[in-house]
Amino acid sequence: QVRLVESGGGRVQAGGSLRLSCVGSGFTFSRYTMSWYRQVPGKERELVAAITWPGGKINYDESVKDRFTISRDNAKNTMSLQMNSLKPEDTAVYYCNARQGPMNEYNYWGQGTQVTVSS
């Protein structure tokens, strides 16, 4: 079965850092675009950052550009998100996503990891 497992969430003060990781299994990791989304209660899930493969093209939401860094290690089936200069508005559940195909017909989600940033 396809699995995406997030880790690394926690509670930090504003200005602090966290590093999230997502480990995939049950699919060919290197053929998938990997991305991080986040969601707060009552709001829609939003894209934070994505990294394609093949190609390795990276996109960031404007709100995290210059603070977050997405990366992937295909040999370890792992994607990471280094989050620096965290702000209270970054508080959310962060989800790992894997998608592939011309219509993204293969689309998988992890269970999420909580990030809480206090002021």
Residue 102 predicted with pLDDT over 90: no
State how far the Cα of 10 lies from the Cα of 91, in Å rounded to an integer. Answer: 10
Residue 97 predicted with pLDDT over 90: yes
Residue 109 predicted with pLDDT over 90: yes
Residue 52 predicted with pLDDT over 90: yes
pLDDT-derived band at 104 (thresholds 50, 70, 90) equals: confident
Give the tokens for residue 57. 């093209």
State how far the Cα of 98 lies from the Cα of 108, in Å rounded to an integer. Answer: 5
When the pLDDT of each residue in the chain is averaged and rounded to a whole number, the result is: 97
Full DSSP string of 35-79: EEEEE-TTS--EEEEEE-TTT--EEE-TTTTTTEEEEEEGGGTEE
> Residue 54's pLDDT is what?
85
State how far the Cα of 109 lies from the Cα of 119, in Å rounded to an integer. Answer: 30
At 10, the amino acid letter reads G
Reported as a single tens digit per residue, the pLDDT across 62-90 is 999 999 999 999 999 999 999 999 999 99
